[in-house]
């Protein structure tokens, strides 16, 4: 917790049995013996340590970093235990590939965009993600890259994705943390009464639609929409997230105000931008959400579902108005409530497709 090196470093000792008043041998700064030593000609300070970390010959820094990139796009790192490259960690599935990526990273001048482009344009990433029984038996965890990556998006990605396709996403960069929709009273049980986080006060306006990166986070009461999708509580650092699949996740994306409001705005986009025919609007929405055109069978199912939703809300206009009241963004007035409600439900369906919440 210092901003400047001391002219005369404080002495440090090994504490006998951890007792602060029982000094053992005096020690100084250094690095583990299994790694290359710090330059003998340089001062043993943080600047020297930082330069040592990014030396081209350092065996870990570049490998650990590109492994994290690979984990993000493929779901699992080349070294599965991304947090542990030691003797307790798992051996890399493709050690030569890891070495090559590490050297490419350093040769590029530690260019992150170059590495991202390299990975997402690779033949391994662009494979079909569909799995045949033969491939499942041969490579159940896809450690051999027998097919393209397929895994559920992370919590922040899911929220940002829904806001983006709906047109609600606020792309502003920087600024304070924002407080989005959250169940009332969630902080009271764990907050000190005199603390400035004793009571949750929701933001309004554009702040509600900022990227998930900017959501205010109370570690003892993390946002439920994030933890439901396995986001860590941030009480400690996690290099690798677990991915679960629970009914609560589907209930959240179908009913949470943030997601349902996004569905309402997406439904309005289908009505205004998708054309004049129901089939065209539904195909437009399906392609916007899944990045592919629907099949004839899928289009028929969507049209049938829309017809049933339209009939429901035509006969229950009050239910349509109640449905459209979710969320703080203005409700469009150039579309009837039953029609917008029907398309809101269709957008809600599209956002909850397996293809929508999964990287394929």
Say yes or no: 88 and 11 in one domain: no
Say yes or no: 22 and 65 in one domain: no
Q: Which of 102, 117, 132 is the last residue of a domain?
A: 117
- Angle CA(127)–CA(109)–CA(42) in degrees, nearest 5? 135
Residue 83 domain-assigned (yes or no): yes
Say yes or no: 15 and 98 in one domain: no
Model pLDDT, residue 44? 86
For the residues of 258-306, what is the DSSP string, one character each?
A: HHHHHHHHHHHHHHHHS-SSHHHHHHHHHHHHHSSPPPHHHHHHHHHHH
Model pLDDT, residue 1? 56
Residue 234 domain-assigned (yes or no): no
Nearest to 45 by CA among 28, 62, 27, 57: 28
- For residue 233 the two structure tokens come to 């509580």
14: domain range? 1-29
Q: Per-residue pLDDT tens for 284-328?
A: 999 999 999 999 999 999 999 999 999 999 999 999 999 999 999
CA distance 15 to 220: 33
Residue 136 domain-assigned (yes or no): no
Model pLDDT, residue 2? 63
Q: Which of 117, 137, 170 is the last residue of a domain?
A: 117
Largest separation between any pair of C-alpha atoms in the chain: 83
Say yes or no to pLDDT of 3 above 80: no
Model pLDDT, residue 8? 85
Residue 268 domain-assigned (yes or no): yes
Of the pLDDT bands very low, low, confident and very high (cuts 50, 70, 90), residue 276 is very high
Region 324-352: mean pLDDT is 96
Provide, rounded to the nearest whole percent, the portion of the chain with pLDDT above 70: 99
Say yes or no: 16 and 94 in one domain: no
Residue 305 domain-assigned (yes or no): yes
Model pLDDT, residue 193? 79
Region 331-336: mean pLDDT is 94
Residue 178 domain-assigned (yes or no): no
Q: What number of helices (H) and strands (E) belong to the chain?
A: 14, 4
Say yes or no: 64 and 8 in one domain: no
Domain count of the fold of the chain: 3
Q: What is the pTM (predicted TM-score) of this model?
A: 0.87
* 205 backbone φψ class: left, alpha, beta (φ>0; ψ -120 to 50): left
Nearest to 305 by CA among 257, 262, 269, 353: 353
Q: Per-residue pLDDT tens for 242-267?
A: 899 999 999 999 999 999 999 999 99
Residue 109 domain-assigned (yes or no): yes
Q: Per-residue pLDDT tens for 19-33?
A: 999 999 999 889 998
User: How high is the mean pLDDT of the chain?
Assistant: 93
Say yes or no: 24 and 70 in one domain: no
Residue 298 domain-assigned (yes or no): yes
Higher-confidence residue of 283 and 5: namely: 283
**What backbone torsions phi and psi does residue 27 show, to the nearest 5 degrees?**
-130, 160
């Amino acid at each position: 917790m210092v901003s400047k090196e001391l002219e005369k470093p404080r002495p440090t000792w090994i504490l006998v049995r951890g007792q602060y008043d029982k000094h053992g041998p005096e020690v100084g700064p250094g690095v583990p013996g299994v790694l290359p030593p710090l330059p003998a000609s340089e001062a043993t300070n943080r600047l020297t340590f930082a330069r040592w970390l990014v030396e081209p010959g350092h065996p870990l820094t570049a490998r650990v970093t590109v492994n994290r990139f690979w984990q993000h796009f493929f779901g699992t790192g080349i070294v599965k235990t991304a947090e542990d490259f030691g003797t307790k960690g798992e051996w890399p599935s493709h050690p030569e590939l890891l070495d090559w990526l590490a050297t490419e990273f350093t040769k590029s001048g530690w260019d992150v965009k170059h590495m991202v482009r390299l990975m997402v344009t690779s033949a391994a990433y662009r494979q079909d993600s569909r799995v045949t029984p033969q491939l499942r038996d041969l490579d159940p965890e896809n450690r051999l890259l027998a097919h393209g990556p397929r895994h559920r998006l992370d919590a922040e990605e899911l929220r940002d994705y829904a806001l983006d396709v709906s047109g609600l996403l606020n792309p502003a960069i920087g600024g304070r943390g924002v407080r989005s929709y959250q169940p009332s009273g969630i902080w009271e049980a764990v907050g000190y009464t005199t603390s400035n986080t004793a009571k949750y006060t929701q933001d309004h306006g554009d702040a509600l639609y900022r990227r998930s990166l900017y959501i205010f986070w109370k570690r003892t009461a993390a946002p439920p929409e994030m933890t439901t999708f396995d986001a860590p509580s941030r009480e400690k650092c996690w290099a690798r997230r677990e991915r679960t699949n629970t009914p609560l996740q589907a209930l959240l994306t179908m009913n949470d105000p943030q997601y349902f409001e996004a569905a309402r705005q997406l439904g309005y986009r289908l009505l205004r931008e998708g054309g004049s025919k129901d089939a065209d609007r539904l195909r437009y929405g399906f392609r916007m959400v899944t990045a592919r055109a629907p099949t004839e069978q899928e289009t028929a199912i969507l049209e049938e579902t829309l017809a049933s939703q339209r009939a429901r809300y035509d006969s229950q206009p009050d239910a349509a108005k109640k449905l459209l009241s979710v969320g703080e963004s203005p409700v469009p007035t150039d579309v009837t409530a039953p029609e917008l409600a029907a398309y809101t439900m269709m957008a809600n369906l599209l956002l909850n497709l397996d293809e929508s919440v999964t990287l394929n």
